[in-house]
Amino acid sequence: MKKNLFMPFVGILAVATSINAQPTLKDTFKNDFLIGAALNESQFTGMNTREAALVKAQFNSISPENALKWEAIHPELDKYNFDPADHYVEFGQQNHMFIVGHTLVWHNQTPKWVFQDDTGNPVDRNTLLKRMHDHISTVVGRYKGKIDGWDVVNEALNEDGTLRESPWEKIIGDDYILKAYQFAHEADPKAELYYNEYSIENAPKRKGAIALIKKLQTAGIPIAGVGLQGHYKMDWPTPAVLDETIKAFAGIGVKVNVTELDMDVLPAATRSQAAEVSMNVALRAELNPYTNGLPDLVQQALAKRYAELFAVFVKNSKLMDRVTFWCVTDADSWLNNWPVKGRTAYPLLFDRNYQPKPAFDAVIRTASPEK
């Protein structure tokens, strides 16, 4: 009887010991920046105990993969679904983590009703502004003092740096961006406000993002940071371009955070560098070459590539607050299903068995020495 009672603890101890035996990202980079991960519901509710333990051991900042997106938290006009987001925030608080809110105003994962009246026609500017205000004041207000920083607007730009003609822009006009930040700041004046975007490492889009942020600053918005999403390829961006990008944003007085880091090692399915979630390419065998594991050569190349990027982050660590990975292990990554559904992707530092990959060790070696 005694023995049976003791057995489960042996299992827990074994997991804890194997996790503790390795260095942790959060401790290794404590002199540089926070290290974050985007979490899914089974991780922040603790249902997936192994992943929850890995998150607690390795990360000191969290982002919600989906729980705070409009379609998840506000699926109908008069219906909010706070439960998953409440669990997400509780998980962060219990583990003393920096908690990110992602995202308030975006054109994807936002229900059609937001932009339509009862007959399916587009609503007018004032109606949409009111809906945006209600959403932001309700969601940001609920987590006031708990969520530390918000991705207020996500992906407002085209690749050439002009404003994307999203339903927000078409119905409200260009000032929808300013309004979103004003509403968020009103709802929690102490929360940090960020602009989050992909491929702003490329010069034309970077220029657009700098202009957008400067406009907010001129209007008195205390914008704290820009998020480089960091959905990177093996050959893009180069370390020099990344370095130049970080310095360019720091030059206008905002912190630079990497908010959705992953590294695509699979054959390119399109020529685009854009992380446009609506892309969908048909599965062909040659696009999915590593179904039985990653060959050692590719594994080593991935490790080298991660080390080269982290060397840039560490070099610029005074200009940065946080590096967040988009998901925890290779098994959870969206890249298994984007832009081609059903591939076997290897974009992160932990493999499908929750084990650190050679890329993990390579990243650890780039940290600043103890100060």
Judged by the rule CB under 6 A, the positions of this chain that interact with ligand GLA are 102, 154, 198, 229, 260, 275, 277, 334
Quote the least distance from Cβ 257 to ligand GLA, whole Å: 13
Catalytic residue among 155, 192, 197, 201: 155
What is the bridge-based pairing of β-strands 223-228 and 149-154?
unpaired
Joined tokens for residue 160: 């050439």
276 is catalytic: no
Quote the least distance from Cβ 4 to ligand GLA, whole Å: 43
DSSP string, 90-136: HHHHHTT-EEEEEEEE-SSS--GGGGB-TTSPBPPHHHHHHHHHHHH
What's the CA gap between 157 and 287, in Å, rounded? 29
Catalytic residue among 192, 197, 201, 260: 260
Backbone dihedral region for residue 190 (phi beyond 0: left; psi -120 to 50: alpha; all else: beta): alpha
Cis amide bond preceding 237, omega within 30: yes
Taking the CA atoms of 300, 328, 192 and 152 in sequence, report the sign of the dihedral they define.
positive
Shortest-Cβ-distance residue relative to ligand GLA:
334
Joined tokens for residue 47: 């249902």
Strand partners of residue 257? 227
What's the CA gap between 25 and 314, in Å, rounded? 13
Output 194 or 303, the one with its CB closest to ligand GLA. 194
β strands within 107-158, DSSP E: 149-154
Output 24 or 259, the one with its CB closest to ligand GLA. 259
Output 268 or 277, the one with its CB closest to ligand GLA. 277
51 is catalytic: no
What's the CA gap between 72 and 366, in Å, rounded? 37
Quote the least distance from Cβ 65 to ligand GLA, whole Å: 7
Quote the least distance from Cβ 145 to ligand GLA, whole Å: 24
Output 198 or 313, the one with its CB closest to ligand GLA. 198
Output 102 or 179, the one with its CB closest to ligand GLA. 102
Quote the least distance from Cβ 333 to ligand GLA, whole Å: 8
Catalytic residue positions, numbered: 155, 260
